[in-house]
Structure 1
Amino acid sequence: MIAQRSHPRLWLLLAGTVLTLLLSVTVHGDARAETPRPDAPTRGLTAPVVVPSFWNSERRLERPDAADLPKELRIVTSDDYPPFNFLSAEGVLTGFNVDLARAICAELQVACAIQAVAFDSLMEAIEQGRADAALAGLVATPGNRAGLDFSERYLGTPARFVARKGQAPADAVPETIASKRIAVVSRTAHEAYLRSFFNEAAIRPYPDLKSAQTALRNGDVDLLFGDGITLALWLNGADSAGCCVFAGGAFTESRFFGEGFAVAVKAGNDKLRHAIDYALQRIWEKGVYTDLYLRWFPIGFY
């Protein structure tokens, strides 16, 4: 069994299922851009960054008993998934997931041993007892749940619209972009979503993301729709040449875009899973999560 990572592969993994679904049923309801509350300050950025929250502040989780926790929490991740987990120029394992793992250990007051393994070996490391948890952009798919249990999600994988600077619509809803030309990668969950909720627009499928990005940059289309994380990294990188900005809010329909990232533990290890849930909520409440998000995602994807 191979674990699945939701970014950058999630929309490819979901595409077949979603396209089949669209052929067999009619999807009802409106396309809605969901924007979490803006709890984060701007921190000197040119535009406010909305930091997502997946925790109910009114829900009080019980602090885990230290006797139920290992003295050292062994966490595995991968090293090929920037900016989540990767090797720095100095060869040091770093990234958002790595910092979040350390924050979990600190909140639980246990030592932290973080090791990089091949992504396809993450589940095996947990199942064979060589690691207690995996924090590497894992998705709690039905297949993965056969051998693992998962914490509550700590990050979603929303979809976003991108437009050229100065040409972004005030809001990205079906009524306002019905006349727009929209680039999207063909045969993905993002194309399926557009054809379900934005079918009055001129949808332009492209064979890969780079082609779609080039079309937007060159003005061949008005908008690009795709994975928000991937697009945020593109906007913040040299390849975009500063051409474009996000338009509208985040689309978070889990049936199309998945449930998001979660921490994996061995199936049946409820004590550790509950402890990680507790730590994640406390990390959010203390503002540590916000600091990490702003550090690693200067262009937020929500």
Structure 2
Amino acid sequence: MRSARAAVAAIVLCLGIAAAGPEARAQAPVRPAVEAAPQAVPGFWDPRRRPERPDLSRITVIRFLTETDYPPFNFTGPDGNPAGFNVDLARAICDEIKVTCTVQMRRFETLLDALSSNRGDAIIASMAVTPQMRARLDFSDPYYRAPARFVSRRDAVMTEIRPEFLEGKKIGAVAGTAHEAYLKAMFTDAEIKAYPNDDALRQALRRAEVDLIFGDGISLAFWVNGTDSADCCAFSGGPFVESRYFGEGVGIGVRKGNDLLRQALNWALFRVWEKGRYTDLWLRYFSISPF
């Protein structure tokens, strides 16, 4: 997961192949085409299926574990305290449950051991829900997904993408990723070109070596909207979320059998979404939607 990190961890653990994580965000001038569309906020909760409120009196504190450096999801703020989308969501959850909430930042590879040794109660670190991880943890309902997206140069944006529309086109992807595997399986009449990493892939698009690139929507959203892209490119088509390739989503991990906490998290997540706080957080951290 993090480089195996999880916006793309949903991909990495689903197929057991490597992918690269998102980059830091930066502002870019507003342009026509993609940015003109309304911001899309993902929703994973059905208002007709309200979770039952568990006995919250049995929960007195939630010790969240998160990663040290995965902006904008988790990072150290200017005051030295944990910050980011995951951190703010954890605090919103604790507000709903009305319990004390602590957030401890650790290296991603130490999170599972910290949870199993009771140094924390829940992992909120963009951890993918996969069969491999379900064998080790129980998870809350998903609170976001890492969709796959196509990006093209701004003078060649496509509103819709289907395999037949890309016949003969050159499409780039990072070698060995679920994105490359998906292209090879579904876009059989396109010319698939593999690159060693995200930087090489994106440079290929800027230099017009390929017509489109295909990769993790979250990291691509930051690149498209950041200074490194030099305002060259934009999303084409919509998101791809097939779980066989791109995972079931990202959830909050708890120790196996901790049903009370898992149910409390599900109840609180629904409440945070229902009150509009989830939307507020999403729009604060994602200036251009990956969806």
- With the length of structure 1 as denominator, give the TM-score of the two structures: 0.85
Matched, 1:269 2:285: no
Give me the identity figure in percent.
49
1:293 aligns with 282
Alignment of 1:55-204 (within 5 A): 55-69=45-59, 71-204=60-193
Secondary structure of 2:165's aligned partner: coil
Matched-pair contact (CA < 8 Å) for 2:10–2:248 = no
Structure 1 residue runs of 4+, over 4 Å off? Answer: 12-18
Q: Which residue of 2 aligns with 1:21?
A: none
Distance in 2, matches of 1:16 and 1:146, equals: 15
Name the SS of the counterpart of 2:164 in structure 1. coil
Cα contact 2:13–2:128 (8 A) shared by 1: no
1:118, 1:207 → 2: CA distance? 25
Could you tell me how far apart the structure 2 residues matched to 1:67 and 1:75 are?
18
Tell me whether 1:206 sits opposite 2:195 in the alignment.
Answer: yes
Given candidates 224, 232, 239, the residue that maps to 1:243 is: 232
Shift of 1:6: 2.6
Indicate if the aligned counterparts of 2:13 and 2:132 stay in contact, CA closer than 8 A: no
After TM superposition, the score normalised by the length of structure 2 is 0.88
Cα deviation code 1:255-295 (max 9, x no counterpart)? 10111210011110001101101111111111111111111
Paired letter, 2:161: A
After TM superposition, give the deviation of residue 298 of structure 1 in Å: 0.7
8 A Cα contact 2:10 2:249, kept in partner: no
In structure 2, the partner of 1:24 is: none
How far off its partner does 1:10 sit?
4.6
Q: Take 1:7 and 1:231, find their aligned partners in 2: how far apart are those partners?
A: 11
2-structure distance, mates of 1:178, 1:48: 30
Query: In the alignment, which residue of structure 2 is the partner of 1:52?
Result: 42
Q: Secondary structure at the match of 2:63?
A: strand
* Equivalent residue letter for 2:272: I
Specify the SS of the correspondent of 2:138.
Answer: strand
Q: C-alpha separation between the residues in 2 aligned to 1:52 and 1:135?
A: 18
Aligned counterpart for 2:248 among listed residues 259, 263, 272: 259
Instruction: Answer yes or no: is the 8 Å Cα contact 1:80–1:86 preserved in 2.
Output: yes
User: Is 2:215 the partner of 1:226?
Assistant: yes
Moved more, 181-190 or 245-254: 181-190
SS in structure 2 of the partner of residue 176 of structure 1 = helix
**How many angstroms apart in 2 are the aligned matches of 1:220 and 1:17?**
25
1:193-245 residue CA offsets vs partner (Å, 9 max, x unmatched): 11111111121111211111001111121111011111111112211111111
Let me know the Cα RMSD of the aligned residues.
1.9
SS of the residue aligned with 2:155?
coil
Deviation at 1:58, TM superposition (A): 0.6
Q: Deviations over 1:72-99 (max 9, x none)?
A: 2111101111110011244231111001
Q: 1:144 offset after TM fit, Å?
A: 2.5
Give the corresponding residue for 2:32.
none
Structure 1 match to 2:6: 6
Equivalent-residue separation in structure 1 for 2:235 and 2:273 (angstroms):
25
Q: Which ranges in structure 1 are unaligned for 5 or more consecutive residues? A: 19-44
Q: Is the 8 A contact 1:158 1:228 kept in 2?
A: yes
2:150 alignment partner AA? F
